[in-house]
Each structure stands twice: as C-alpha cells, then as structure tokens.
Homo-oligomer: A and B are copies of this chain.
Amino acid sequence: MGLSNLDQENLKELSKRTGNACVSFNLRKTSRLLSQLYDQAFKSVCLKGTQFSLLMAVAGNKDSTIGKLCKPLGMERSTLSRNAAVLQKKGLIAIEEGEDRRQQRIRITDSGISVLREALPLWQGVQESLARELGEERIKNLLEDLQSLSRLLKMK
C-alpha cells in the first residue's frame, strides 16, 4: 500500500501493521518492560539490571579493559565507560591505569563480589518465574534467536 494514497483509514491500518512487524520496535518495547521487572528484583541490593550484567561481566573477565569488554557486551565504548563509572562510584569495581597507560583495567572489588552474591538468587528468581510463565522451550528459542541476530549484527 505505501503512503501514496494516504487517508486516515490507511494511516491507522499502516501504523498498526508497521508496529506489529517492526523488529526493532518490538525488541525495544519488550526490553523496556522486561528491564523494569529485573530492576524491581534487584531493588534490595541497589542494582539495576544493566548494572548486574556489567558487574557479572567484569567478574568473569579478570584483568580486562574498557575496550575489551565492549565486544562481548555489544556495547559502545563510551557507553561502557560511563556505565562502569557508575559501578566504580558504588565501590563495586575498581578502574585503574594499566601498564599500557592508555588502558583502564577493570576488576571487581570484594564489595562487588559480595553484592553479586546477594544478587544472584534474585536474578535466578526472575529467570525462573519467566520460565514458568512463558515456558522453558519458548525462552530457549527466544535466546537462540536473539543470539543469532546479535551475531549477525556484529558482523556488519
């Protein structure tokens, strides 16, 4: 149909179809909603879902740097830099100049480990409730599709 012959009826219809079909819109929308659920779960440890993910990534990548962490997280360098600063301010990670003085080495602190310890069961709780409500199979498929799409996009 397109927009060539555009009255109100067409617009309404077009808008609805576009919203239903747009991969990006639906990803962002679901992501927004789901992020709120995770944020709630982490409230008691004063973390947001994004911060939990980053903290966990730092924990699992000993002696990494801002630049090196970008790729696995699929995150822009400057974004990561700023997000890391938030965790540093909370004392959960340490950021220090590397031997190569251009680099900033990142490591998790004891306090960070401690928070992670508290946060992990909260995370697991949300994951399990999702699996219960949406079904394990569906979650598994969703994760696979998301990861395929991520790989595809990173190659560009």
Q: A74-B32, A145-B141 are in contact. Are A60 and B11 (CB under 8 A)?
A: yes
Q: A28-B31, A60-B11, A113-B6 are in contact. Are A23 and B142 (CB under 8 A)?
A: yes
Tell me which residues across on chain B come within 8 A of A30, comparing CB atoms.
Answer: 27, 74, 146-147, 149-150, 153
Main secondary structure, interface of A, reads: helix
Checking B15, B27, B116 against A3 with a beta-carbon cut-off of 8 angstroms, the contacting residue is: B116
The answer to whether A62 touches B12, judged by C-beta atoms less than 8 angstroms apart, is yes
Q: A28-B50, A156-B37 are in contact. Are A142 and B143 (CB under 8 A)?
A: no
- Chain A interface (Cβ < 8 Å from any Cβ of B): 2-3, 6, 8, 11-16, 18-38, 49-50, 53, 56-57, 59-62, 72-76, 113, 116-117, 120-121, 123, 126-127, 130, 133-134, 138-139, 141-143, 145-150, 152-154, 156
